[in-house]
């Protein structure tokens, strides 16, 4: 039986679609670089959604579409983690997939909430403000599942003791480092100004660097692992024929 790794490659490459949609939505359409300031009062927030109604609706829509492409990427990571853990029990692969689901949900809900804010922009400003706040809590502050996710990946990579590991050990330590980087974003619930607010240097810019950096590095490493698996299977079946 010929092993087919094409569907795994489709899954892992969806990471690039995720990045593309997120940047199109956030930077090109909404123009939120940096995000809405947490310091804005209700009237100012409502005005942003009143003046850019259809733009923000579209940005939210593109963000919800982009968010779901994180799912296949998470599946590709878990498939390779299963090669380390074994086919019968693979708790870390399952944990990774479970936690990535919440991150998908957080990005998806942020997009939904932007559309909701812009759906009836003439409503009372306080209502728009609370939904806008919630969208940023999800978008920037929903970090604990992502921390558990990268810890699960890091731990799984580091317990791989075969001669040529499925994923390189530096990638394991890199995930542990990224976990510490994510933690810096957890201040968004306390501050409206400064580096730890959701538009700040630590919570927004550093978090964005770690999130997109993690996706690109993980995409590369998991893709290499899949290609390696395919080559291995090919040489095995060639031996079988001979």
Partner 1 sequence: MNTASKKLAPHISGEASMWILLLGDMVIYALLFFMYGYDHRQEAALFRESQTTLNAGFGFANTLILLTSSWLVVMGLKSAKTNQRASAANFFKYAMLCGAAFGVSKFIEYGLKINSGIELTDNSFYMYYFLLTGFHFIHVIIGMTTLFFMRRHVLGENFSASSDNSISGLESGANFWHLVDLLWILIFPLLYLIG
**Which residues make up the interface to partner 1 (CB under 8 A)?**
168-170, 172-174, 176-177, 180-181, 183-184, 187, 190-191, 194-196, 201-202, 206
Q: 145 vs 168, which CB is nearer to partner 1? A: 168
Smallest distance from partner 1 to CB 222, Å:
17
Q: 60 vs 200, which CB is nearer to partner 1? A: 200
Smallest distance from partner 1 to CB 103, Å:
21
| Residue 156 tokens, joined | 């799984």
Residue 86, phi-psi category: left (phi > 0), alpha (psi -120 to 50), beta (remainder): left
Smallest distance from partner 1 to CB 139, Å:
21
Smallest distance from partner 1 to CB 120, Å:
33
Q: Do 217 and 178 meet the contact criterion of CB atoms below 8 Å apart? A: no
Query: Closest Cα to residue 110, out of 163, 32, 52?
Result: 32
Q: Do 229 and 221 meet the contact criterion of CB atoms below 8 Å apart? A: no
Smallest distance from partner 1 to CB 151, Å:
11
Measure Cα distances from 124 to 41, 48, 60, 110, 127 in Å.
13, 13, 21, 20, 6
Cα–Cα distance between 74 and 14 in angstroms, integer? 10
Rg for the chain (alpha carbons), in Å? 20
Q: 56 vs 203, which CB is nearer to partner 1? A: 203
Query: Closest Cα to residue 214, out of 56, 82, 100?
Result: 100
DSSP 184: G
Q: 201 vs 227, which CB is nearer to partner 1? A: 201
Question: How many CB atoms sit inside 10 A of residue 53's CB?
Answer: 16
Q: 9 vs 217, which CB is nearer to partner 1? A: 217
Residue 31, phi-psi category: left (phi > 0), alpha (psi -120 to 50), beta (remainder): left
Smallest distance from partner 1 to CB 169, Å:
5
Q: 35 vs 185, which CB is nearer to partner 1? A: 185
């Amino acid at each position: 039986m010929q092993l087919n790794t094409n569907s795994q490659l489709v899954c892992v490459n969806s990471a690039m679609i995720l990045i593309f949609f997120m940047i199109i939505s956030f930077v090109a359409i909404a123009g939120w670089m940096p995000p809405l300031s947490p310091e804005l009062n209700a009237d100012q927030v409502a005005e942003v959604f009143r003046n850019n109604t259809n733009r923000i609706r579209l940005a939210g829509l593109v963000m919800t579409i982009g968010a779901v492409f994180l799912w296949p990427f998470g599946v590709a990571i878990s498939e390779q983690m299963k090669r380390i853990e074994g086919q019968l029990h693979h708790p870390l692969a399952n944990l990774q997939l479970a936690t990535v689901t919440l991150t998908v949900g957080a990005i998806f809900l942020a997009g939904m909430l932007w559309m909701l804010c812009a759906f009836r922009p003439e409503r009372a400003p306080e209502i728009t403000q609370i939904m806008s706040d919630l969208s940023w809590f999800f978008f920037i502050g929903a970090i604990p599942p992502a921390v558990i996710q990268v810890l699960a990946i890091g731990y799984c990579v580091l317990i791989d003791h075969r001669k040529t590991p499925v994923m390189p050990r530096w990638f394991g330590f890199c995930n542990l480092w990224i976990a510490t980087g994510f933690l810096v974003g957890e201040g968004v619930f306390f501050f409206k100004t400064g580096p730890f607010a959701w538009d700040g240097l630590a919570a927004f810019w550093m978090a964005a660097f770690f999130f997109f950096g993690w996706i690109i590095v993980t995409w590369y490493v998991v893709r290499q692992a899949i290609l390696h698996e395919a080559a291995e299977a090919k040489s095995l079946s060639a031996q079988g024929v001979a």
